[in-house]
Amino acid sequence: MILQFIYESFDFKSWIILSFVLLLLVDLIKYRNPSRFPPGPWPLPFLGNVFTEIDFRNVNKLAEVYGNIFSLRVGSEKMIIVSGYKMVKEALITQIDSFVERPIVPLFHKVFKGIGTILSNGYLWRMHRKFAVSHLRTFGDGKKSLELRIQQECVHLCNAFRAEKGPFNPMVTLNSAVSNIISCLIFGQRFDYHDEYYQRILRLDTECIQLIGSPRAQLYNVCPWLLEYLPGPHQTIFSNYKQITDFLRGEISKHREDWDPSNPRDLIDNYLTEMEKKKSDPEAGFNIEGLVVTCLDLIEAGTETATTTLRWGLLFMMKYPEIQEKVHEEIDRVIGQSRQPCLADRVDMPYTEAVIHEMQRFGDVVPLGFPKKAVKDTKLGEYFIPKGTSITVNLSSVLHDPNEWETPDTFNPGHFLNENGQFQKRDAFLPFSAGNVQKYHLMTSQKVICLGLILFIDLYLHFPFLYKIIYTNKQ
């Protein structure tokens, strides 16, 4: 009787309002925060904080308001942002077993499929990380041929710089040089700087990295079931990665034609061998699709970070000529003008080593770490973090933490020198992340940057860099 009266009394507009109110109540009840959950900006019903830009500048502003541990809601998913060295260390090192897995982020899962070395979990991740770290050690440290190839790449890089007439943007040239180091590890060969097909692959990858951080692309993570069929930057990302993986499949096919298990040339050969060994263990995930994503992981983990770090280095040296002069003096004293630099020179070049580290600290190449997931209910600081909650660490806040760095907002190589002028490591130096779960990404990026150090020094052996602002018609 009462229900019939309500039904007859309500018009269409009233039913719409009632439905909205009921959905709003369901949203409030379903996503109500538990006791002692980190605070954060008030989320919009159904959408959460989807319009809150998650870049390091805005994250730092939010941390000033809500503290070093605060929460956001993206669609139906809750995430925690952790800032400051003390809290980041607790999350990544002290409680490493509590935050060991990766959450499923729809935008990345569409491309990487939860396999490979960076975005996988469990047994598959452990087996692939073990393989990748072993390969990097073997081909990165144990074989002089890699260092020789890097020295040869220095010659190509310097020649490319000499060929430029007047001011130019070094991004493409540096990216080509660094990517060739990665290519040696993956494909066993380099590509000519004028190889248009390979340059196109590099441009596609750069465009992906730029688009992934855009708010419109992040909307895909809120409702992938809808945006899957709508235009937007996410479609460009998927299309670009499809072309990149097609390129990788082509290189893998070439390797399979002349693969010799007794004489591995690179990562692809080693992975093909591992596929044969693991045929009886399908859960390890060693198959062609896993190989494609593993190659893509290595490219993503090393190329962009190292290239951007070197670009920052060139800018800092131009802006601070007194530091550039000290680097030149150390290079002249240790290496001279008659030979190429090598990794063994690092021990005798503490100031240059300090400059390289300060480039990474001040350059903020990876300001926010990739999300992790709480595998159990845990406590972080004074807050309760439920199982399944994603956390993202604000690495920028660590590298500029005033409690850890004497002059956090100044480019100062002295941060990495002791009172005797010798190089010293710093606990708060976390340019990529920390903890064993990050070992592969950290090892990859650090290795490429260390090898990129040879490129950096070789450039300074042959070229002075002057700081000058060039205005163009576009500006």
Write the pLDDT tens digit of every residue in 298-342: 898 878 888 888 888 888 888 898 998 898 889 889 988 778 887
Nearest-angstrom CA–CA distance, 181 and 50:
38
Average pLDDT of the chain, as a whole number: 84
Nearest-angstrom CA–CA distance, 396 and 444:
20
Nearest-angstrom CA–CA distance, 116 and 127:
10
Provide φ and ψ at 369, rounded to 5°.
Answer: -75, 160
Tell me, what amino acid is at 325? E
Pairing of strands 383-385, 378-380: antiparallel
Weakest-pLDDT range from 179-188, 325-334, 367-376, 444-453: 444-453
Higher pLDDT, 435 or 311: 311
May I ask the CATH class of domain 114-362? mainly alpha
Higher pLDDT, 1 or 459: 459
Do 149 and 184 form a contact (C-beta atoms < 8 A)?
Answer: yes
**Cα dihedral sign for 157, 161, 163, 164?**
positive
Helix (H, G, I), strand (E, B) or coil at 333: helix
Q: What is the pTM of this model?
A: 0.86
Quickly state the pLDDT bin for 472 (edges 50, 70, 90): very low
Closest CA to 34 of 71, 8, 64, 67: 71
Q: What is the pLDDT of residue 435?
A: 59
Q: What is the pLDDT of residue 455?
A: 65
Quickly state the pLDDT bin for 437 (edges 50, 70, 90): very low
What is the mean pLDDT of the segment spanning 448-468? 62
Domain ranges of the chain: 114-362
Q: What is the pLDDT of residue 18?
A: 64
What is the mean pLDDT of the segment spanning 10-35? 67
Residue 444 has pLDDT above 60, yes or no: no
Do 366 and 395 form a contact (C-beta atoms < 8 A)?
Answer: yes
Residue 136 has pLDDT above 80, yes or no: no
Closest CA to 205 of 111, 118, 320: 111
Q: What is the pLDDT of residue 454?
A: 66
Higher pLDDT, 334 or 468: 334
pLDDT (tens digit per residue) in 201-243: 999 999 999 898 787 888 898 888 888 989 999 999 999 999 9
Nearest-angstrom CA–CA distance, 272 and 270:
5
Residue 264 has pLDDT above 60, yes or no: yes
Residue 438 has pLDDT above 60, yes or no: no
Q: What is the pLDDT of residue 475?
A: 38
Q: What is the pLDDT of residue 404?
A: 96
What is the mean pLDDT of the segment spanning 374-391? 94
Q: What is the pLDDT of residue 27?
A: 57
Quickly state the pLDDT bin for 362 (edges 50, 70, 90): very high
Q: What is the pLDDT of residue 138?
A: 72
What is the mean pLDDT of the segment spanning 454-458? 67
What is the mean pLDDT of the segment spanning 49-59? 78
Quickly state the pLDDT bin for 432 (edges 50, 70, 90): confident
pLDDT (tens digit per residue) in 181-195: 889 889 999 999 999
Residue 145 has pLDDT above 70, yes or no: no
What is the radius of gyration, based on Cα positions, of the chain? 25
Q: What is the pLDDT of residue 375?
A: 93
Q: Which residues fall within 8 angstroms of residue 355, CB to CB, at 6 or more apart? A: 313, 316, 323, 327, 413
CB atoms within 10 A of CB 343: 15
3-state secondary structure 431-466: CCCCCHHHHHHHHHHHHHHHHHHHHHHHHHHHCCCC
